Structure formats: C-alpha cells, structure tokens
Structure 1
Amino acid sequence: MLVKELFPVAQIRVPVKRAKTLDPAKVQEIAESMLEEGQTTPIRVRKSKDGYVLIEGLHRLEALKALGEETVEGYLVRAVLH
C-alpha cells in the first residue's frame, strides 16, 4: 500500500526523456490551481543513490518549484525485480 510522504524538491531528479515533455503553459495552469486548492494529486518517485527519481508528476513538480515550495507530497514507489 502506498503511503503519502513529503519529499524535498531539491533531491528529486527528472530523467532527461521526461523533461523533454515539459509544457510551460500546463505548469502555469497547475501552479495557479495549487495556489487556490493546494497540491491535490501526489507525485511518484523512486529512491536513487543520491535522492529520488521522478516517475510521475513532472508538471506538478515544476509547478511547485515555480511557487518556491521546498517539499512535495508524493508516493515512494519501489522497483519490482523480475
């Protein structure tokens, strides 16, 4: 079961492939929504050697960065070994 946690924004790395899909207009829209309602949907990250890697929630993460937030609510997803 996933449990919501707070993660330091500065310790979350965005993979290059995912960063290429960033839409600044969408970030602005989400940031405005967060000002009114707060963060309603957690992001998903996985643990890495030096912090965390973003799995899901690029636009939410970037919106929080734009708002100057230092933490983000999210779920820690563990990698499944095959």
Structure 2
Amino acid sequence: MLKKALYPIDKIRVPVKRIKTLDPDKVLELAESIMQHGQTTPIRLRKDGDRFVLIEGLHRLEALRALGEETIIGYLVSARLH
C-alpha cells in the first residue's frame, strides 16, 4: 500500500514530454482550489538517485510551486522491471 509523504518541490524533476502538456489556466484554477481546500490529491513520484521524477500530478506540482510552497504531498512508487 502506498503511503503519503512530503517531498521537497525543488528535488522533483519533470520529464520534458510532460512539461509540454502544461496548461497555465489549469494551474491557476488548481492554485485557487489549493488555497481554499489544501492539496487533496497526492502526486506520484519515482526515486532517481537523490532526486525524484514526476509520474503524475504536473498541474498540482506547478500550482504549489506558483503558491511558493516548498513541499508537496505525494506517493513514492517503484518502477517495475519487465
């Protein structure tokens, strides 16, 4: 079972392909929601050395970054080897 934890935003790398899907309007909408209700859905990350790679939650990550937050709630998932 996945366990929620706080992760430093400055240690999270976003893959280039994911950045291209960023919608600034959605980031603004999420930032407003987070200001009112807090972060309700954790992001998903995988470990990459001493940093993390974003798997899911780009808009949540960018909304919290825009709000000046230093940490984000997330789940750490392990990559499967096929």
Alignment TM-score > 0.5, same fold: yes
Unaligned runs of 5+ in 2: none
TM-score (norm. length: structure 1): 0.98
**Hey, what does 1:43 align to over in structure 2?**
43
Report Cα offsets for 1:43-82 as digits up to 9, x if no partner. Answer: 0000002400000000000000000000000000101112
Cα RMSD after superposing both structures? 0.5
**Hey, what does 1:5 align to over in structure 2?**
5
Runs of 4+ that moved beyond 4 A: none
Count, aligned residues: 82
Q: Distance in 2 between matches of 1:80 and 1:64?
A: 28
**1:52 correspondence with 2:52:** yes
> What are the equivalent positions in structure 2 for 1:25-44 lying under 5 Å apart?
25-44=25-44
